[in-house]
Amino acid sequence: MSITASTVKEVAFDLGADLCGIAQIERFEDAPAGFHPKDVLPDCRSVIVFGVRFLKSSLYAKSTIPYTTVRNELSSRLNSIAVKLSEYLEDQGTAAVPMNTTGPDEWDEKTQKLRGIISLKHAAVQAGLGKIGKNTLLVNDKFGNMIWLNGVFVAEALEADPVAEYSGCIENCRLCLNSCPVKALDGISMDQQKCWNHAFGEHNGGEWRIKCFTCRKICPNGLGIK
């Protein structure tokens, strides 16, 4: 049975994805050493990236527990979609390997940072799902930065989607940079340790949670590009 891009997307949507895009392997020529799709699946010819919408109302709760709950639920859901989509593709006769949404990660000695097996945000850009903003979040025209991502490496040449032509940020906007409580953003990258030490952990004697998402909440394009 021949696998088509439209069929792959239909399966992804049936499994619960709100967005799905495809990038051919040639778009990853500039991937960092050790974090190229072929470093995971040597026969990879296409990268499928999909996302689900993040509950917008969680941004405005007085407690950060609802945001954390949504993040945990969506991470589990996306990992399930990735595995089931890979199973479908394997049943069609091609190798398919799922990515993961939130860890485990690899240590990048060069940058001294933890990384996913590839950058999902950059893969999403190559698959036409959006652009990366100054807050280092993916910004989609419909859902803004309120999306969670995952993907699948596949050893099949699938029709690729065009890369988005819009910008993720409003020109000259510095709201996320100026509002970051620990000044972890420079408009290009994020100081991982500053951000994570502040944003993740126990709070007021309670259990682990995500305590800060200011850069996501304050973005003028955070809920979509008008």
- Residue 163 clears pLDDT 80, i.e. is over it: yes
CA 13 to chain centre: 17
Beta strands 200-201 and 147-154, pairing class: unpaired
Q: Which domain holds residue 20?
A: 5-154
- Residue 111 clears pLDDT 90, i.e. is over it: no
Do 40 and 144 share a structural domain?
yes
Do 27 and 70 share a structural domain?
yes
Residue 14, domain member (yes or no): yes
Residue 186: pLDDT band by 50, 70, 90 thresholds? very high
> Rounded to an integer, what distance in angstroms lies between the CA atom of residue 145 and that of residue 46?
24
Residue 33: pLDDT band by 50, 70, 90 thresholds? confident
Do 84 and 48 share a structural domain?
yes
Instruction: Supply the pTM of this predicted model.
Output: 0.94
How far is residue 96 from each of residues 77, 101, 195, measured CA to CA in Å?
18, 16, 33
Of the chain, the end-to-end C-alpha distance in Å amounts to 41
Q: Bin 137: left if φ > 0, else alpha if -120 < ψ < 50, else beta.
A: beta
Alpha-carbon dihedral 124, 19, 10, 82, rounded to 10 degrees: 60
Do 22 and 89 share a structural domain?
yes
> Rounded to an integer, what distance in angstroms lies between the CA atom of residue 103 and that of residue 199?
16
Beta strands 46-53 and 200-201, pairing class: unpaired
What is the 3-state composition of the chain as percent helix, strand, coil, each rounded to the nearest 5?
35, 20, 45
- pLDDT of the residue at 204: 86
Residue 31: pLDDT band by 50, 70, 90 thresholds? very high
> Rounded to an integer, what distance in angstroms lies between the CA atom of residue 88 and that of residue 8?
9
> Rounded to an integer, what distance in angstroms lies between the CA atom of residue 128 and that of residue 14?
20
Residue 170, domain member (yes or no): no
Do 136 and 54 share a structural domain?
yes
- pLDDT of the residue at 190: 94
> Rounded to an integer, what distance in angstroms lies between the CA atom of residue 54 and that of residue 140?
12
Q: CB of 185 within 8 A of CB of 215? A: yes
Candidate from 8-17, 64-73, 109-118, 124-133 with smallest mean pLDDT = 109-118
> Rounded to an integer, what distance in angstroms lies between the CA atom of residue 196 and that of residue 193?
5
Residue 2: pLDDT band by 50, 70, 90 thresholds? confident
Residue 78: pLDDT band by 50, 70, 90 thresholds? very high
Do 179 and 73 share a structural domain?
no
- Residue 105 clears pLDDT 90, i.e. is over it: no
- The phi, psi pair for 113, rounded to 5°, reads -135, 155
- Residue 222 clears pLDDT 70, i.e. is over it: yes
Tokens of 110: 């060069």
- Residue 136 clears pLDDT 90, i.e. is over it: yes
- pLDDT of the residue at 134: 96
What rounded mean pLDDT belongs to the chain? 95
Count of domains forming the chain = 2
Do 84 and 14 share a structural domain?
yes
Angle (nearest 5°) at CA 135 between 171 and 20: 95
